[in-house]
Amino acid sequence: MATRSDDLPFDLRSLSIFLAVCDAGAMAVAARRLGLTQPAVSIAIGELETRIGAGLFDRAVRPLALTPAGALLRQRASALLSEARQIAPVLREVGRGRLPLVRIGLVDSLSRTVAAPLARFLSGRADEVSIFSGLTAAHASALVTRNLDVMIGVDDLGDISGLERWPIVAETYVLVLPKDEAPVRTLAELEALAGRLKFVRFSARSSTGGDIDRHLRRLGLELPRGLEFDTPAGVTAMVASGGHFAITTPLCVLEAKEDIRDLAFAATPGPQLRRQLTLVAYRHQLGRIPLEIAELVRERLTAEALPAIEAAAPGLGAAVTVL
């Protein structure tokens, strides 16, 4: 259903008049500053109060004093009008083929491979570019509150409408162990491994950590809790230091910048666990840019990440599929 203008409690003109009265302290003074008559200002304020359902000024004192509702509206109205005044300059910039700002949240397991080429690409299309690496959950929250324009992560926000989604890559979780450890093929062997080595976890704050914990519970495995890290670098570095093992993904290992030739990889026993990274953006907000970002990331993964993974650990590249 279309939204009618009278469904809204105010418009920008009434807010502008309201703020002028706030600044002037009197309707007559505000009217002179605005080039309006005093009755026109008084009527506009009265209609605003009626539509909001609350008094905005205490008319019993001079100069006019704001009620609590009026004080709150003054704070919010200033922000709304400031934002509205920026729209025309922004539209002019877009008309010249450039955006003023693009903000993207990037899951940290892609940072090493795509952050720099992504920054170069977006710098050609926007005056200001912000790229944030970190946990998908934080980026999803920022996208929903419109503090990000684009995110690439594990959560595709499938329950939220008005978004466009571009699949990027899928990968299978693998065991990563010290080089001299024997292959692990069964759940019993995995439990025995946990008796010899300490299990390093991804933090439960991360989507990866949550996925791995749920998968282990489905397998009936209760591995001791010990070390936890938010980042792939911490997990992989602990395994490389010896005495530890982990469940991770090939892209997480690559992101860690460790020499993975000193590590051993194996499929996890039982059903395989996979994750998919997806680009999510608001539909129609950035034109073709989200699709172009998705194509760029896929190209960098194919040309750089997969060959690097396969060269360092032959066979591990098969666990990654660019979509």
β 274-282/150-153 pair status: antiparallel
Sign of the CA dihedral with 305 first, then 310, 313, and 317 last: positive
One-letter amino acid at 90 equals: V
User: C-alpha angle with apex 286: 95 to 126, nearest 5 degrees?
Assistant: 65
Residue 234, pLDDT score? 86
Q: Which alpha helices (H) appear in 241-301, and where do they start and end? A: 250-255, 289-300
Distance, in Å, from the CA atom of 279 to the CA atom of 155, rounded to the nearest integer, reads: 9
- pLDDT tens digits, one per residue of 11-46: 888 888 888 888 888 888 888 888 889 888 888 888
Q: Is 188 helix (H, G, I), strand (E, B) or coil?
A: helix
Residue 301, pLDDT score? 93
**Statement: residue 258 has pLDDT above 70:** no
Distance, in Å, from the CA atom of 105 to the CA atom of 90, rounded to the nearest integer, reads: 22
Mean pLDDT within 226-249: 87
Contacts of 13 (CB under 8 A, 6+ apart): 44
**Statement: residue 123 has pLDDT above 80:** yes
Residue 6, pLDDT score? 52
Q: Closest Cα partner for 167 from 60, 257, 249, 277?
A: 277
HSE-up (13 A, CA, CB side) for residue 243: 3
Residue 92, pLDDT score? 52
> For the chain, what's the residue count?
323
Mean pLDDT within 183-200: 86
Mean pLDDT within 247-258: 84
Distance, in Å, from the CA atom of 191 to the CA atom of 273, rounded to the nearest integer, reads: 18
**Statement: residue 103 has pLDDT above 60:** yes
pTM equals 0.67
